[in-house]
Amino acid sequence: MQHEKIIGLFIAVSLLISGLYAQEKVDMDAINTIKKEGLDNSKVMDIAFHLTDVSGSRLTNSPGYFRAANWARTEMEKWGLTNAALEPWGDFGKSWELKKSYIALTAPYYRPLIGFPKTWTKGTGGLKSADVLLVKANDSVALEGYRSKIKGKIVLLYRNDTLKQSFKPDATRLTDEELTKMANAAPPPPPPPATDTAEARRRREQQLRNRNSVASKLRDMAGQEGAVAVLSMTPAGYDGTLFVQGGGLYGANDPENVLDIMVAMEDYLTIQRLTDNNYPVKLDVDVQTEFNNKDLKGYNVVAEIKGTDLSNELVMLGGHLDSWQSATGATDNGAGCAVMMEAIRILKQSGLKPRRTIRIVLWSGEEQGLLGSRAYVKNHFADPATMELKDEHAKVSAYFNLDNGTGKIRGIYLQGNEKVKPVFTQWFEPFNSLGAATVTLSNTGGTDHLSFNAVGIPGFQFIQDGIEYGTRTHHTNMDSYDHLIAADLTQAATIVAACVYNTANRDEKLPRKDLPKATGEQR
């Protein structure tokens, strides 16, 4: 009897699953058209070339960002997209551009150094030759003892670090075992009640400042006392790779931050050892930066393919166009933007007629905290603080995001949305032979799909092979076009185009999870 019950249960579950699959209609002629255009006639690397090599680094509100944004808008207009625009989302802050950068060791001998100024820091006002001051201080009291010595010096804080060689490859792909584990992951637990109040966030930020208090106070002191520059050592980097990000505040009324130059670990520790052993060290530094307060707003790039009978409903896709400044932001996130633009080009070039309107948005301000996408969602759909829904909220079927480097797509994160798992499992079947089959209920974070999920709109990030993302290119001076893999991006754009098309032509919008509770926190 027990055996018969088990068989009966198995049959019932099988029928339920098959019923769910049977509800999903996939236009294989359209999918094959997408695959042919995407795989045989890819333009993704040409798009990536223009977003990276041609445009340069794309710090939000910088000239490089606007070069890329205006090129993307114009290019999508050429493809026949409508409503292409640079849409302001709110105040961001000052424009900043690096105009010149030179740093070299000149005593006890000459050697050029690998260094890059952090964003929103001021320049030197011409070539400066200065002695190095090594600061050994573990607290504010000890730090005060150096105040009178800082003027005219290049300052660095003593670091008790040694280079630890890695015996793992920089570039890796997800293994079958890792993908199977992701596919079998249980639904994530529901989030705890919202406690992220402004006060709670301030406390967390204060704790972070306390942990970095000596380094932060040294920078403040260096600015107050007239240091030429502060040197920082790149975290977790070696072999000349610099992890370079922001150097301070960038609001309209914030003062210019003291020049802070991130240098390679090997160079920093060389200077530290020489100085610590009483060998006088001198550096030449010549840095020119330019600030601009004329337009403080942030802008996203927006364009559409108009739908047919369901044109009042939306399918959205995007990635963040902004980058840091030490390279051309190829894997973070020129790759994602090139893939999303190529997906749009594939759909337009293929002559397919989506039922729903397809809207692509390339975000700015992601690197400063998902600013562009959060503001866009708040402006168009809902404010997570109040969860008062705007009319357009109900019209969005889904948002698709790509922002994890150059690696090909291996599947998709469902952010705990169990209702869409059979849908995506079927949608990925035509791409299983291309290595994309994993549909996981797991969450992933850190990028712009979170802005949509925060107000109950299904937002999805694709699973990608990591390649060198976490080891070599993410936020580094190595993040250039040469680290892009054409075959991976070609595969990714084709899969994105198919997912977007399936979503646009589905009879019903994709099912949603329950609406999240209002956070009560104003951002």
Q: Does 8 fall in a domain?
A: no
SS3 at position 34 = helix
118-142: b (≥16 Cβ within 10 Å) or e: bbbbbbbeeebebebbbbebeeeee
- Are 399 and 304 in a shared domain? yes
The confidence score (pLDDT) of residue 261 equals 98
- Are 343 and 435 in a shared domain? yes
The pLDDT tens digits of the residues spanning 348-387 come to 999 999 999 999 999 999 999 999 999 999 999 999 999 9
d(CA 512, CA 71): 35
Q: What is the mean pLDDT of residues 178-203?
A: 76
**Spatial CB neighbours of 97, under 8 Å, sequence gap ≥ 6:** 59, 62, 63, 64, 289, 290, 292
Q: What is the mean pLDDT of residues 469-480?
A: 96
User: 55 near 71, Cβ under 8 Å?
Assistant: yes
Which of 250, 266, 292 delimits the end of a domain?
292
Q: What is the mean pLDDT of residues 6-34?
A: 65
pTM for the model: 0.92
The pLDDT tens digits of the residues spanning 301-358 come to 999 999 999 999 999 999 999 999 999 999 999 999 999 999 999 999 999 999 999 9
Q: Which amino acid is at 519?
A: T
Which of 268, 292, 316 delimits the end of a domain?
292
- Are 337 and 383 in a shared domain? yes
Q: How many domains are contained in the chain? A: 2
Q: Does 197 fall in a domain?
A: no
The pLDDT tens digits of the residues spanning 35-80 come to 999 999 999 999 999 999 999 999 999 999 999 999 999 999 999 9
Q: Does 208 fall in a domain?
A: no
User: 411 near 421, Cβ under 8 Å?
Assistant: no
Residue 83 pLDDT grade (very low, low, confident, very high; cuts 50, 70, 90): very high
d(CA 257, CA 223): 7
The pLDDT tens digits of the residues spanning 110-142 come to 999 999 999 999 999 999 999 999 999 999 999
Residue 1 has pLDDT above 70, yes or no: no
Residue 16 pLDDT grade (very low, low, confident, very high; cuts 50, 70, 90): very low
- Are 443 and 419 in a shared domain? yes
The parent domain of residue 218 ranges over 97-169+213-292
- Are 248 and 316 in a shared domain? no
- Are 279 and 403 in a shared domain? no
- Are 310 and 276 in a shared domain? no
The CATH number of whichever domain residue 285 belongs to comes to 3.50.30.30
Instruction: Give backbone dihedrals phi and psi of 316, rounded to 5 degrees, phi first.
Output: -120, 150
Residue 166 pLDDT grade (very low, low, confident, very high; cuts 50, 70, 90): confident
Residue 390 has pLDDT above 60, yes or no: yes
How many other C-beta atoms lie within 10 A of the C-beta of residue 76?
A: 24
Q: Does 254 fall in a domain?
A: yes
The confidence score (pLDDT) of residue 11 equals 41
- The burial of 183, by beta-carbon neighbours within 10 Å (0-12 exposed, 13-18 middle, 19 or more buried), is given as middle
The confidence score (pLDDT) of residue 193 equals 58
